[in-house]
Amino acid sequence: MAPKRILVVEDEDDILELLTFSLTRHAHAVTGATSGEEAMGILGRETFDLILLDIMLPGKNGFEILHFLKNETPAPDTPVIFLSALSNTSSVTKGLADGAVDYVTKPFNVSELLARVRLHLELKTVREELRLAVATKEKFFRIIAHDLRGPTAATHGYAKLLARDYDSYAPGKRQECLTNMVAASGKVVELLEDLLSWTQVHTGDLAPCPEKFPIYAEVTKAVGLLAPQAEAKSIRLSLPGIDPACAVYADRGMVRAMLRNLMDNAIKFTPAGGSVQVTARTDAGMASIAVADTGVGISPADMDKLFRIDCHHSTPGTAQESGTGLGLILCREFADKNNGRLSVCSTPGQGSKFTFTLPLAAALATLAETPSANAPPGRNESTMNTPAKA
């Protein structure tokens, strides 16, 4: 974990030295300032995780620095602990009313002050995580609303045409409208399935149910399901060298979803006449299943966006196929839930290769039969989570 950055604004050298020493011992990165003007200059160009702020300072006082922080800096929510010899009620009330998170009077106990610093750093982390979670969910629902609008409007439009002009349409025209309605409604179903899966993952309702099964059987099912889509673009699907006896221990439904999403994605971004290849190999107790294509590839700038819900990265396929942008995110989360991982390598213009790992059933069986060398008799496991002393 990166050290927390703390600004200490204190004009008494011995107190500044004591605070700097104590905070540094606890792995914090400390910057000191001895006047209001110096503190404002630092805050104008740097951000911190927490500020310890004296009130009575040369030049600008602590209240003025707090006002400057709240109104003229890029990090107005930085927690501020006032540290002052002013112990009267009006000073304490003013400090807290102006936005400080705590008020410590001098002389102070160093251990108590460090405990308060730790508390407010932890609270800041929690607030940031909550803000990120809220922002992520808002972004997610904007993506859903955006992606639902197109196919829903198309389905509604074709239905209106048929309802209004059914008798005047030739049979071929009617069939065209119905075919387009099926395609558009299929996209709605796909999106809602992804939405349901993502919601279940993040509410804890979708726990994996692992079982032993051959990976080859699931790959062949996925190939059969997606073969018409590949044939429509003259894309060759192949699965060379997969051992039919290779069995993994994972949630079968999640593995099916990963295979379907990765293969669908590969077909979507591979031009007509290209190829998609699914392979599997074993190494160190894990099976590595790879889906490689000869498609358009992914630029380095877009690689990091693939698995982020806060970055809507959904581009049309080579035949203008649409997507929800959620498939790859679900693949990574499903891989994590099954004690594996998902990775990608890609070269723009040459293709991409997505690989996910799963535990081998045979390796888990061997592990279960072998006593752990890391757990000698009599060990009290409860001591593993005992926090280090502050």
Work out whether strand 351-359 and strand 286-293 pair parallel, antiparallel, or are unpaired.
antiparallel
Burial environment of residue 154 by CB neighbours within 10 A (0 to 12, 13 to 18, 19 or more): middle
pLDDT tens per residue, the chain (390 residues)? 689 999 999 999 999 999 999 999 999 999 999 999 999 999 999 999 999 999 999 989 999 999 999 999 999 999 999 999 888 889 899 999 999 999 999 999 999 999 999 999 999 999 988 887 777 677 667 666 766 777 888 899 999 999 998 999 999 999 999 988 988 887 787 777 767 766 776 666 667 889 999 999 999 988 888 888 899 899 999 988 788 888 999 999 889 889 988 998 899 999 999 999 999 999 889 999 999 999 999 888 788 778 776 555 555 456 555 554 577 888 888 899 999 999 999 999 999 999 999 999 887 665 555 554 444 444 333 333 333 333
Two tokens at 279?
């392979």
Amino acid at 308: R
At residue 102's C-alpha, the angle toward residues 99 and 105, to 5°, is 125
User: Rounded to whole angstroms, how far apart are CA atoms 293 and 346?
Assistant: 10
DSSP 259-314: HHHHHHHHHHTS-TT-EEEEEEEEETTEEEEEEEE-S----HHHHTTTT-TTS---
pLDDT at 205: 63
pLDDT at 371: 54
User: Rounded to whole angstroms, how far apart are CA atoms 78 and 294?
Assistant: 49
Q: Is 302 left (phi over 0), alpha (psi -120 to 50) or beta?
A: alpha
- Give helix then strand counts, H and E, for the chain: 11, 12
Interacting residues of 280 by C-beta distance below 8 A, sequence separation 6+: 215, 216, 219, 241, 242, 243, 246, 287, 288, 289, 290
User: Rounded to whole angstroms, how far apart are CA atoms 193 and 197?
Assistant: 6
pLDDT at 377: 45
User: Rounded to whole angstroms, how far apart are CA atoms 62 and 36?
Assistant: 7
How many C-beta atoms surround the C-beta of residue 95 within 10 A? 23
Strand partners, 29: 5
